[in-house]
Structure 1
Amino acid sequence: MTDFAATRRAFHLPEGITYLDGNSLGPMPLAARDRAASMIRDEWGEMLITGWNRAGWYAQPRRVGDRIARLIGAGPGEVVMGDTLSIKVFQALSAARALRPDRRVILSDSGNFPSDLYVAQGLARAVDAELRVVAPEDVTAAIDGDLAVLMLTEVDYRTGRRHDMAALTERAHAAGALTLWDLAHSAGAVDLDLTGADADFAVGCTYKYLNGGPGAPAFIWTHPRHADAVQPILQGWMGHRAPFAFDQDYAAAPGIERMRVGTPPVIALAVLDAAMDVWEGVAPADLRARSIDLTEAFIAGVEAACPDLVLNSPRDSARRGSQVGFRHPQGYAVMQALIAEGIIGDFRAPDVLRFGFAPLYNDLEDVGRAVEVLARLLRDGSWDRAKFHQLADVT
């Protein structure tokens, strides 16, 4: 059994704060703070450029990738780190599209994160492809013989709705298409098995449930059957088979290494590496069971105490990730009032109060306090103050 009391103690959780926004930014692992300091002091400070070899900076993207691979159902040597999630989406999507040159259609859904859709729109213009966007419930029916790539975020960022990865991948393959899965709201929150689902490509960020810190680098996975065949449009020197030969022409590195682009963010990767320590000994089945316990308790509590709120997430836990949304006409102001009371969730337009439950550090006491404060604010109307209606730059 996973000791979630021990994993909770591994984080710095500010006193008086109930943190339910790990699906936007995870809190700081205590080990990350110390690792960042030692990396800057002992490696960058003392080793200077020799750290690329002496401290293993060059190998970091693969080494940290292997630690993430265990959490997403991938094998050793199949995941590499670096760059932002949007860049990794572009790499994976362009590579998948190129593997189906006789097809033009990229299919996604309206619940996909907008940045993924923006990337797909730009790529479609560049390579004469067509992006089709349908409602999440219409994806299966939209998969046909014209499809090149099915690109979906496994857990919807706004509703928490979870796609059936295995079933949709099987359907896409039967139609001759490939799949690309964005795991931004899945990795570290739910049980994942990319290999078992027979997916083709996957990407994800590490600053949410993996707690790598603001701007932490993204990861990319390619199924081994494609790893030596893919040719991403975005090619960089770290993805060259001999980067320090400084050849004028690009020659792809073997396997997932070709999905590297530029110089890796060494300090950020050191922080993420330390953040991954807390995952040692965490069983995926335990993680999922605790996630369901927390989200079920929250839904039951809110619906009993806040009858004016409308559930914006699937009621069936099998179709839900590790976040819950409720709708309120003035959701932004209500969330700002909650934050002022030390209950930190977030808001998604147009009217969604969004709460992320991270099994590593959230518990039933967090659920109870959040329900209690939310009910009080709605009951006494104290959320309806001018200062809570003022939009901040980041909502």
Structure 2
Amino acid sequence: MTDLPADPLLLSEARRLDAEDPLSGFRDRFHPVPEGTVFLNGASLGRMPAATPALVDEVLRGQWGDRLAHARAQWLDLPRRAGDRIAEVALGARPGEVVVGDCTSVNLYKLAVAALRARPGRATVLVEDDTFPTDRYVLSGVAADAGATLRVLPAHPDLGLDPEVLRDALDDGVALVCLCLVAPRSGALLDMAGITAAVHEAGALMLWDLSHAAGAVPIDLTGCGADLAVGSTYKHLLAGPGSPALLYVRRDLQPLLTQPVQGWYGHRDQLALLPAYEPDPGIRRFLTGSPPVLSIVASGAGLDLIAEAGLDRIRAKSTALTGFFQRLADRELVPRGFRPASPPEPARRGAHLTYERPGAPELVPFFAEAGVFVDPALPDRVRISPVPLSTRFTDLCEAVERMCRVVDVVDGRGEGRTA
């Protein structure tokens, strides 16, 4: 490729960083993307590990194909076993505190209902206004059904929720607080330990949405004393499209919570087919129906890569990549009308950057035609999320140059560089 920036110092630095990158060997352990593609939307859907097809094929042929219904014995405990693996690799949680199943919205519903039931006499649920829309949709319905009030806290669209705004809203009427650890639009990263402590001090339960954090930033659910969490697995955990979500409940809370969607998979005695529902004493009580076996098995390849690389090293490269992109963008994209719309400090954001420009989402298909895959963030933003295990610093140089060429053409300035 020759679409590199004119600044030889930035290009030289990118090549040096690639040569020194301790994670460079992981790039070849993903299914190859089309020649010339620069993939920068890992916050939407992670790349496919090269090992994923073989894992799924083993279930299709070696288990379902060869053993038919007898293979079900291998799948009964799959949601808990997969949950234990995610807990160990990405969440800082203990065995028996995480299961995998359903989608994030359904898991959020289960835990929100369970939390309100566990805080009788309290009738307020807090959420911020820049959270992922499904969280507000689900919590609004849960609050309405319970006769509770959903209170929406204002958050800065670029910098995220100010913890003082949350603290001012906490009182003895709050039952549940639900926040995204990493804001889906801006990438703002919250202080999990500090916020959880403040919520506990007020006597409420804390429910974290980890969809844009799990697999991207180190998380210590146990160390933070977290109560509840949900999150998607198809973004930074690399589990694949439509993969089931994670659900976390701290061990001592499990026997105290009852979830509303009571199904046979959460029964104390799964296979006894008893007429009355008796919840499992542990984390399995939060399951409902048969697990999506193929999707859960597919998640193993991404977890293996994350475990081998280590989240600390993944996080270090992620902040280095987004920081380098910032420098390129300041030089090339900002003069073309793009405004940074994320916290400027890498430590205060997750694995993605956001830029605002009028009509920016309309540029995304043109960027894709130029071989650069980014994510639209309505109404006027694009989201940049390099995947640390597969993205090179020189890829960022190429991506920014191509994006500039697209913008110049759209703006009627031709194909040459003008900044």
TM-score norm. by structure 1 comes to 0.93
Aligned residue pair count: 383
What displacement does 1:382 show? Answer: 6.3
Amino acid at match of 2:367: L
> Are residues 274 and 383 of structure 1, via their aligned partners in 2, closer, same or farther at CA, if it must alter by over 3 Å?
farther
Q: Which position in structure 1 is the counterpart of 2:338? A: 309
Paired residues for 1:1-395 under 5 Å: 3-14=22-33, 15-53=35-73, 56-70=74-88, 71-135=90-154, 136-137=161-162, 138-306=165-333, 307=335, 308-381=337-410
SS of 1:145's equivalent? coil
Maintained 8 Å contact 2:370/2:406:
no
What displacement does 1:383 show? Answer: 8.6
Q: Which position in structure 1 is the counterpart of 2:417? A: none
Distance 1:335 1:281 in 2: 33
> Are residues 384 and 84 of structure 1, via their aligned partners in 2, closer, same or farther at CA, if it must alter by over 3 Å?
farther
What displacement does 1:362 show? Answer: 1.8
Distance 1:237 1:261 in 2: 6
RMSD of the TM alignment (CA)? Answer: 1.7
Distance 1:142 1:254 in 2: 34
SS of 1:296's equivalent? helix
Q: Which position in structure 2 is the counterpart of 1:390? A: none
Maintained 8 Å contact 1:302/1:375:
no
SS of 1:156's equivalent? coil
Amino acid at match of 1:315: P
> Are residues 139 and 90 of structure 1, via their aligned partners in 2, closer, same or farther at CA, if it must alter by over 3 Å?
same
Distance 1:7 1:66 in 2: 24
Distance 2:363 2:254 in 1: 47
Deviation digits for residues 223-248 of structure 1 (CA, Å, limit 9, x no counterpart): 11201211011221100101211122
SS of 1:244's equivalent? coil
Distance 1:13 1:109 in 2: 38
> Are residues 4 and 51 of structure 1, via their aligned partners in 2, closer, same or farther at CA, if it must alter by over 3 Å?
same
What displacement does 1:8 show? Answer: 1.9
TM-score norm. by structure 2 comes to 0.88
Deviation digits for residues 286-340 of structure 1 (CA, Å, limit 9, x no counterpart): 1211111011111111111122210111102221010001001011222221111
Distance 1:372 1:330 in 2: 19
Amino acid at match of 1:318: A
Maintained 8 Å contact 1:2/1:286:
no
Amino acid at match of 1:33: P
Computing the radius of gyration from Cα coordinates, the structure with the larger value is: 2
Maintained 8 Å contact 2:30/2:47:
yes
SS of 2:271's equivalent? helix
Maintained 8 Å contact 1:17/1:343:
yes
Deviation digits for residues 41-90 of structure 1 (CA, Å, limit 9, x no counterpart): 1111111110111xx11111111111110211101121111111111111
What displacement does 1:2 show? Answer: 9.1
Amino acid at match of 2:95: P
Maintained 8 Å contact 1:105/1:149:
yes
- The answer to which of 180-189 and 373-382 deviates more is 373-382
Q: Percent identity?
A: 37
Distance 2:246 2:388 in 1: 21
Q: Which position in structure 2 is the counterpart of 1:393? A: none
SS of 2:239's equivalent? coil
SS of 1:247's equivalent? coil
> Are residues 147 and 384 of structure 1, via their aligned partners in 2, closer, same or farther at CA, if it must alter by over 3 Å?
farther
What displacement does 1:3 show? Answer: 4.3
Gaps of 5+ in 1: 386-395
SS of 1:80's equivalent? strand
Gaps of 5+ in 2: 1-19, 155-160, 415-419
What displacement does 1:257 show? Answer: 0.9
> Are residues 384 and 331 of structure 1, via their aligned partners in 2, closer, same or farther at CA, if it must alter by over 3 Å?
farther
Maintained 8 Å contact 2:96/2:251:
no
Q: Which position in structure 1 is the counterpart of 2:7? A: none
